[in-house]
Structures are given as structure tokens and as C-alpha cells.
Chain A
């Protein structure tokens, strides 16, 4: 025990000495700060953003297909509203607090109704998927109107309008439903959509999405800021029971999130979220493949240098051969013929990155092998493994740290390049894939103000993360590499 304590103390002292030297390198400190920043971001990603990075969608039950998108396509960053002239930019307006109508109080809070020849009640059950709904019982031919008042505080029209509704009717041939928006004071309708025919599903509920994104329709629907009514009018030509549930109105504005949304058709992603989760991918790919390749290089270099002979010749010729193969074309063919999973890429990158380090270790081992302290160890009868692990490895280990730091950037950039070429893992969104999607979206013909937040941040992220490792590598090199220390 005492021995272990002593050893720990010694390690700590050595580390402190190293840290004192490292502190003096401004570049090293800068690199370390950037790296720590990224590691914190990667670890706390779910805390920093509530959204999902891959295919974000609104929460809740939307029976008419997949859940709606979180924001409009290519929405600008939300802080645009603080810029001069930015106050007019519409944000998302989602006026319905809970479209699932869970209980009577909530329904009565959100909805108003009136009707003729009918009886309208908020029902605590009977809804689409068991929760509450609004039930309209027509005694004879008549109409019912339910509405929700909300305010649209922007002079500019929104980017997109989406309405979701679940309808049940006991007699589909005589029921029709109209969705409309109206000015709350003049009651003049600014937008109407008639659901043409209600097709009944087996369980008698039918669900619909109504989506509008034509600028003209939206301009008419939202002529300016003010209070609006979102109304559903149900008419019946006879006795019938109609139930309405999951009514939601989603008005997508022009600004969203810290860095806006990307140009993905159908399901735009929040760029800030994607960027943050991308940190994890780049760090995992970079660190894992650098670690594996460095230790592979260390092992093969030790074996080649210490055992020598045919083994040495074989390993070194193999390394020479691998160095000749052009990395990117080889990676491309290997990924196309195997699979594009991220783990596959890490393995391939590790396999192609060990050669120069193995060479370096080998030449160090060759010179260490002839030193007198090794001879002394041999003379007292130390085993080969003891000599390698106790005497040789500690002497080359400083190089391991340097190589670890300097081989990360290559792996990060190669991953990004491979993703940019379209060979990304389909289940994740890395920084390289963001740029791939940007390049293929064709938005480049628009002015840069429309999309800079999609293309600038991932590039800067790749660059700064790679840079951090390069700076750390340089600082370590200056401290740990004895050859360099003499020179400077």
C-alpha cells in the first residue's frame, strides 16, 4: 500500500511539473480551452436544447400522419428580432395550448361555441384516443361554430399555416366541416378551407391536416397584426352526432431557434441542436479513431522494433504499402462496399492511421534496445515483457500523447469530407452531413443572408475543433519531445 501511495505522489508531482510547463504555452492553453468547451457542450447536449437533432417534431398526438415540423424551412435565427428592423419578423404562433383536449376545464377555457338546432358540450371522454372532445348533437338540420380567439402580433405574414383536426360523425353523408380564420372585430373571414368529404375510418374517426404555404393565401389570411378567430363550422342536414378532437392551429413564423432551421424539405432541423449533437459525433470519431490507431501504431512499432527480423520487415513493408494508398479513394470504396455506419468509419480510419507512428516508435525502440539500462535489465534476467512494458514503453509514451493529439484533427476532417461526399451514417447528422445537405439543397443561388446560419456554423465548428487539437499537439510536442526541447 505504501508503495502505491508513493507512486501516486510521484505521478502527481510529475503531472504538476508538466502542467507548470504546459501553462506557459499560450497556444496550448487556447487549444485546451476550446477542447474543454466542446467537451462540455457534447456532454450536456440534452440540457442545452430540448429538441431532437435528427428529425425534430412537435410532441403530442396527431393522428393524421406524422407529427408536424417544429418550424418553417430556412427560418432565420430568433435573435434577428433584436436587430434593427427585426421587430416585424414573425415568430411561431401556436395559439392552442393543448390540442388533445384532455379534460372539460381545458376545453372550456380554450374554446367558445354557439349553434342552432344543436346541443354542444365538452365531453370528458369519447375523444379520439379516449381523452376529451367537443360533442355536437344535432337534433335536426343546423350548424354549429366553435372558435378560439388568439392574437397575431406581427405585421408580416407567416411562412406556413398548418391545421390539424380529428372529426367523428355518426352520419357522414350529411356532415360538412369548414375551417376558417376571421378578424375578431369585423368577423370578416380572411381564410377558409372546406374539408370536402369526410371519409370514415373503421373506428369512425377521421383525421386531417390542412397545410398552406403559398405567400398569396397567407398574405390574405394575415393582413396585419391583431386579434383573430380560428373557427370550425360544422353543418348538418339532419339528426347527427359530431365530435371534434385534436384541433390544432400552427402558424410558422420566419425566425426560430438560436441559429435558425435548415432547408430540409418537410422536416427542417434546428441548426443549433444539430450543431450541438454534431459535437458528439466529431469528438467520438476523432478521439476513438485517434486512440485506436495510436495504440495500434505503438503495438506494431514495439513488436517490429524489439523483435526485429522477418516480423519487422513484414510490418514495415506493410506500413509502407498502406502509406502509398490514397486515403480518400480507399475510404470511399471501402464504405461503399461495406456500410456507412459511424463505427465502420472509425475502424477504417484507425486502420489507416497507424503507419507513421509505428515507424516512429520502431526507430525509437531500435535505439533504446542498445542502451545500457536495457542490457542491465537483461543481465538480471528480466523477461521480454517486463523489459518492454517497464523500460521501453515508458520511454516512448510521451510520443503517444503527442500523436493522439495530432491525429485527431485528420480523423475529424476526414469524417466531415466523407459525409460531405454523401457517405454519411443515415441515422445521425454530423457537421459534414449538414454541409452535404446544404450543398445539395440548391439554396446557394439565394442571397447569403437567407442561409448563412446553415453553412457558416458547421464549417467554423469543424475548423475550431480541429484547430484545438493541433494547438494542443504543438504544445505537447514542445514539452514532451526532448529533441525539440534542446533546439528551442
Chain B
């Protein structure tokens, strides 16, 4: 099987996953006992005029048979049409804006986490059994068991409220409102300044897992024959680890990138809420408080979509990087 066929297979798999995700979404919001969609419309009734209400009924196809409702729902989700929120108009418009911000936060934290996690994991494996290793492993276990909202609170308390180094919330300085910076560097600096604490929280939250994973993958490979060969050649321990072992150990690490994405979304929802970072997470939190079902449906769909795409990319990378893979 060639690479092309492998990619085609992965695409088909992704489409099936997407279809399943859409179906689950439909089931949750249309067929659950208590009927969320009807609840939503019942809540809206009286708040908006009858014509708009009719529009919303038509949006969900409430007068049509179930299979048509299902197709309509899927069509809406696929075309990024999430209906109307209780409180703030078109969900799609808010979602697009909020998603970019969340992706910025998650992208930045993911990159930092992976680099830092792999580096520290290599260090831990290199110093295995010594104090450095113990400190790193214990530290990872601690960050693993700390609830992220509490960790975030500690960070917010120390860096924002006590030391006043970083702002406690929001995505850009208040002074920017109506006075947008023209200079791109000022813009980036201002954004990064506000991203610092949420990013730190997310990194601390997920770096432990990466350290442990990298360390375990390296230790699993370290007794292999090729490592003994490399050592016998007289290569330095550092060279052996970075050039030989890490390359072989990197495969399970790459697959974990995709899975860590699913994990990160949960962390991001909480971190954004804590730091009032106006992304998808804060949107979710507000929607929870108001039981805003269309928004929650969209959040669930978009985050699933993100994980599915991340999985797909990881699969492709896996196929390209590992020459041993027999595509399928």
C-alpha cells in the first residue's frame, strides 16, 4: 500500500468519525429525555417576537419528520450555522471569534508544553535514579494531581495580585479599546503579556504528562541492542539519548500530541474562565450559567472537530515519519 492510499484511508476514517460525532451531537440535543431543543424554544418564547420564534423552529425543522431534522441538523453544523444563542445573537459569529483566541492560547501552550516536556523527560531519563530524576517525576505527579483551576488560582494570586507582574485577566489591555495599536510589535507584545498567565497555567497543567511519557518511552528503548551498539562505538551518553533513543521513542510521543489536544481543551475551558480570557472556554462557562444549549452544542461540536483534525494530522505525520509503517 502506498502513501497515497494510506492518506485516502485516513481521510475516510476521519469522515466516519466526523459523522459519528455529528450524530452524537444530534442525539444529545434532540433526543435526550427532557428535549433540550424544545426547552430552549420554550425559554425563548415571550422574550422574542413570534416571527423570530418561527424562524428558529424552522432552523431546527421541528415541523418535519425526524430523519429530515437529522439531515438539517448535520447540514447546519457542517456549514458552521449554529443557530441563535439565548442572549447574544448568532452563535456562529461569536464562535468564530472566540475559537481563534482559544486556538492562540492552546497553540502557544501546546508548543511550549511539548518542547519543555520532551526536554525535561530526556533530562529525567538521562539522570535516571538520581535526585534530578526524582524531583522531575515527583513534580510531574504533583502537577498531574493538582486541579487546574486551583493551580491557576495560585498563579493568578502570586503573579497578578501579589507581584503585579502580569494582568489578572482579559485578552488585551483595557487602554486599547477605541485606540487600537497600529504597530504590530506593540500588538503582539500586548497580547503576549495577557497570554502569559493562562499559558503558564496550561503548560504546568500538562507538562507533567509529557515528562513522564518521554521518560517512559526512552527507558523502554534504552535496553535495546542498538543502544548498546551506539555506546560500544564510544558515543557520548547525550548523543546516544538525543540521536538514537529519542528518535525511536518519538513515535508514541507524536500520537500523544493528538490525544493531548482533547485533554487540553478541557484545561483551556477552565483556564479561560479563571483568567476571563474571552475565548471558547469563557463562552462555555457563560453558556453553562445560563443553560444556553445552542452555544454548548456548538462548543461540543467544535472541540470534537478540533480533536478529530488533530488526530488526522498526527496519523499523517506518523505515516510520513516512520519508514517502517506499512500504511494500514
Chain B residues close to A by CB (< 8 Å): 17, 20-21, 24, 28-29, 32-34, 36, 141-142, 144-150, 153-154, 157, 161, 219-220, 223, 259, 262-263, 265-266, 269-270, 273-274, 284-285, 288-289, 291, 293, 296-297, 299-300, 303-304, 306-308, 311
Contacts of A432 in B (CB 8 A): 147
Pair A325/B307 contact, Cβ less than 8 Å: yes
Not counting A327-B262, A421-B288, A423-B288, a sample of 17 additional A-B residue pairs whose C-beta atoms are within 8 angstroms of each other reads A321-B20, A325-B24, A326-B306, A328-B270, A329-B300, A329-B303, A332-B284, A332-B288, A332-B300, A333-B297, A337-B29, A417-B270, A420-B270, A432-B147, A448-B157, A459-B154, A470-B144
Is the pair B269, A439 in contact by a Cβ cutoff of 8 Å?
A: no
B146 contacts A337, CB within 8 Å?
Answer: no
Contact A337 B34 (CB under 8 A): yes
**Contact B146 A459, beta carbon cutoff 8 Å:** yes
Q: In the assembled complex, how far is the CB of residue A351 from the closest CB belonging to chain B, in whole angstroms? A: 12
Chain B residues in 8 Å Cβ range of A330: 300
Task: Please give, as numbers and ranges, the residues of chain B lying within 8 Å of A459 by CB-CB distance.
Answer: 146-147, 150, 153-154
B293 and A329 form a contact (CB under 8 A): no
State the Cβ distance, B105 to closest chain A Cβ, in Å.
15
**Does A325 contact B21, Cβ atoms closer than 8 Å?**
yes
Tell me, rounded to whole Å, the shortest Cβ–Cβ distance linking A281 to chain B. 14
Interface of B is mostly: helix
In the complex the two chains form, is B265's CB within 8 Å of A328's CB? Answer: yes
Establish whether residues A336 and B296, one from each chain, have CB atoms under 8 Å apart when the complex forms. Answer: yes
Q: Which residues of B contact A439 (CB under 8 A)?
A: 149, 153, 274
Interface residues of A in 102-161 (CB under 8 A from B): none
Closest 8 CB pairs of A and B: A328-B266, A466-B145, A459-B150, A467-B145, A326-B262, A326-B303, A329-B300, A326-B265
Q: How far is the CB of A345 from chain B (nearest CB, A)?
A: 14
> Which residues of the other chain, A, contact B262 by a CB distance below 8 angstroms?
323-327
Assess whether A409 is interfacial by the CB under 8 Å rule.
yes
Q: Can you report 19 residue pairs joining A to B where beta carbons are below 8 Å apart?
A: A321-B17, A324-B21, A324-B304, A326-B265, A332-B284, A332-B288, A333-B29, A337-B32, A413-B147, A420-B147, A422-B285, A422-B288, A435-B147, A444-B157, A463-B147, A467-B142, A470-B145, A487-B219, A487-B220
A336, A413, A416, A422: most-surrounded residue (chain B CB, <10 A): A336
Q: Which residues of chain A (408-430) have a CB below 8 Å from chain B?
A: 409, 413, 416-417, 420-423
A181 within 8 A of B: no
In the complex, are the beta carbons of B145 and A326 less than 8 A apart?
no
Q: Is the CB of A336 within 8 A of B142?
A: no
B311 touching A324, Cβ below 8 Å? yes
B143: nearest chain-A partner, CB-CB: A463
- Minimum Cβ distance to chain B for residue A29 (Å): 15
B270 → A minimal CB distance (Å): 6
Sorting the interface of chain A by its residue count into under 10, 10 to 19, 20 to 34 or 35 or more gives: 35 or more
Cβ–Cβ < 8 Å partners of B291 in chain A: 336
Q: How far is the CA of A326 from the CA of B300 in the complex (A)?
A: 8
What is the distance, in angstroms, from A337's C-beta to the closest C-beta of chain B? 5
> Measured between alpha carbons, how far is A422 from B273 in the docked complex, in Å?
11
Min distance, Cβ A458 to any Cβ of chain B, angstroms: 8
Identity of the chain B residue whose Cβ is nearest the Cβ of A458 in the assembled complex = B150
Is A338 at the interface (CB under 8 A from chain B)?
yes
In the complex, what residue of chain A is closest to B25 when comparing beta carbons? A333
Question: Looking at A325, A409, A455, A470, which has the most chain B CB atoms within 10 Å of its CB?
Answer: A325
Provide the residues of chain B in CB contact with A338, threshold 8 Å: 32-34
Q: Chain B's nearest CB lies how many Å from the CB of A479?
A: 17
Specify the chain A residue showing the minimal Cβ separation from B284.
Answer: A332
B288 cross-chain contacts in A, Cβ below 8 A: 332, 336, 421-423
Asked if B289 contacts A422 (CB within 8 A), the reply is yes
Asked if A328 and B269 sit within 8 Å, CB to CB, the answer is yes
CB of A417 within 8 A of CB of B145, answer: no
B308 and A324: CB pair below 8 A?
A: yes
Contacts of B148 in A (CB 8 A): 417
Given contacts A324-B308, A421-B285, contact A333 B266 (CB under 8 A): no
Write the A305-333 contact mask toward B (1 if CB under 8 angstroms, else 0).
00000000000000001011111111011
Which residues of chain B come closer than 8 Å to A36, judged between CB atoms?
Answer: none
A334 adjacent to chain B (CB < 8 Å): yes
- Say whether B21 contacts A417, CB under 8 Å: no
Given contacts A324-B307, A329-B284, A329-B304, contact A463 B266 (CB under 8 A): no
CB distance from B305 to the nearest CB of A (A): 10
B28 and A470 within 8 A (CB): no
Contact B141 A470 (CB under 8 A): yes
Asked if A462 contacts B150 (CB within 8 A), the reply is: yes
The minimal Cβ–Cβ distance linking A366 to chain B, given in whole angstroms, is: 19
Complex: A466 Cα to B296 Cα, angstroms: 29
> A337-B28, A470-B144 are known contacts. Are A417 and B304 too (CB-CB below 8 A)?
no
* Residues of the B chain whose Cβ atoms lie less than 8 Å from the Cβ of A332: 269, 284, 288, 296, 299-300
Distance from B80 Cβ to chain A, minimum over Cβ atoms (Å): 17
A334 contact set on B, CB distance < 8 A: 28
- The B-contacting residues of A in range 19-70, CB under 8 angstroms, are none
Query: Is the beta-carbon distance between A435 and B150 smaller than 8 angstroms?
Result: yes
CB-nearest residue of chain A to B36: A337
Q: A487 CA to B36 CA in the complex, in Å?
A: 53
- Among residues of A, the one whose C-beta sits closest to the C-beta of B13 is A320
Instruction: A432 to B150: give the CA distance in the assembly, Å.
Output: 9
A336–B142 alpha-carbon span in the complex (Å): 31
**Closest-CB distance, A108 to chain B (whole angstroms):** 55
* Residues of chain A from 364 to 400 with CB closer than 8 A to chain B in the complex: none
Using Cβ atoms and an 8 Å threshold, which residues of chain A touch B296?
329, 332-333, 336
Query: A321-B17, A332-B300 given as contacts; is B157 within 8 A of A327 (CB)?
Result: no
B contact residues around A326 at 8 Å (CB): 262, 265-266, 300, 303-304, 306-307
User: Which among A420, A422, A432, A455 has the greatest number of chain B C-beta atoms within 10 A?
Assistant: A420
When C-beta atoms are compared, the residue in chain A nearest to B270 turns out to be A417
Interface string of A215-239 (1 = CB under 8 A from B): 0000000000000000000000000
